Amino acid sequence: MMNNEMVSVVIPCYNQGKYLRETVDSVLTSTYRPLEIIIVNDGSTDDSLLIAEQLKKAHAEINVIDQKNGGVAKARNTGVKAASGEIILPLDGDDKIAPEYIEKAIDTLRNKPSVKVVYCKAVKFSEAGEKFWKLKPFSSYQLARDNMIFVASLFRKQDFEAVGGFSEDMVMGREDWEFWIKMLKNGGEVVQLPFIGFYYRMTPESKRKKTGTNTKKRQRIAYLNAKHADFFERELNGPLRFQRTWSKPYNTLMKWLGK
């Protein structure tokens, strides 16, 4: 019988103490073992560290790392570097997963070595209720225009190390998008499992709301173009534009005009 690979669930937490138990409980109810949970307290000013330590005392599978606030990319990197698992699942400190998510994802990674990333269908939820998260199908072309893979996806630690982890200097948001570009631009398959396995919590503090401004968007596009010009040239015939869906037609027109 094949031994199961260790899965390391890395949970960065910044002032998410009121949700942390719910997040951790969703992992502990997983049908898959062995797993470890690494909570990285990223300089929280609420009771996150206290709750994390209480959870650690109650469950042998939990480890806690406390560090000065350095941002979510740095917190994830800290957790992954400390992970003993061959497979990584980043999970933000206020989100949740379904019990079967890890088990089904591992089956795919084990049976298809060409697959680099496995994710699932998802819902966004809040006190107002749940809403299905409509995500575009994956392709390199679509990834060049926008991200359709949420960060709570499973991948191999060796692939994380090969691209240097999450870029800690990408402070304008959507660092997960750049991480997937790094990991997938030179090949590798992506599989979306056909069931809802991830629950993204919408709160007034949700990062997606904070990083949706035009200024942040322009900074993000400039960063991506500077770092992955080869990828965008291949997929969009030139740089990513502010009106992202028009990038390829506009770039193609500019080249036709000799500009």
pLDDT value at 189 more than 50? yes
Q: In whole angstroms, give the CA distance from residue 236 to residue 149.
A: 19
Q: Is the pTM of this model over 0.85?
A: yes
- Amino acid 207: pLDDT: 57
- Amino acid 213: pLDDT: 84
- Amino acid 210: pLDDT: 58
pLDDT digits (tens, 9 = 90+) for 52-77: 999 999 999 999 999 999 999 999 99
- Amino acid 204: pLDDT: 74
pLDDT value at 3 more than 90? no
Mean pLDDT of 213-220: 91
Q: Which amino acid is at 180?
A: W
Q: Which domains does the chain have, with CATH numbers?
A: 7-227 (3.90.550.10)
Supply the angle between the helices 175-184 and 214-227 in degrees, to the nearest 10: 20
Mean pLDDT of 148-167: 98
- Which are the contacts of 180, defined by CB distance < 8 A and separation ≥ 6? 117, 143, 147, 149
Burial class (CB in 10 A: 0-12, 13-18, 19+), 195: exposed
* Confidence bin at 206 (pLDDT 50/70/90): low
Contact assessment for residue 87 and residue 185, using Cβ atoms and an 8 Å cutoff: no
Q: Cα 164–166–171 angle (5° rounding)?
A: 135
pLDDT value at 250 more than 90? no
pLDDT digits (tens, 9 = 90+) for 229-247: 999 999 999 999 998 888 8
- Which are the contacts of 178, defined by CB distance < 8 A and separation ≥ 6? 166, 167, 170, 223, 224, 227, 228
**Nearest CA to 92 among 5, 211, 199, 171?**
199
Mean pLDDT of 106-116: 96
pLDDT digits (tens, 9 = 90+) for 120-148: 999 999 988 999 999 999 999 999 999 99
* Confidence bin at 1 (pLDDT 50/70/90): very low
**Nearest CA to 244 among 223, 217, 216, 215?**
217
Mean pLDDT of 14-30: 98
pLDDT value at 174 more than 60? yes
Q: In whole angstroms, give the CA distance from residue 216 to residue 8.
A: 31
Torsion 180-206-68-37 (CA) sign: negative
pLDDT value at 194 more than 70? yes
Looking at 98-102, 161-165, 199-203, 213-217, which range is the least confident one? 213-217
Percent of the chain scoring above 70 in pLDDT: 96
Intra-chain end-to-end CA distance of the chain, in Å: 61
Q: Which amino acid is at 138?
A: F
Mean pLDDT of 26-45: 98
For the chain, the average pLDDT equals 94
Mean pLDDT of 114-122: 98
* Confidence bin at 203 (pLDDT 50/70/90): confident
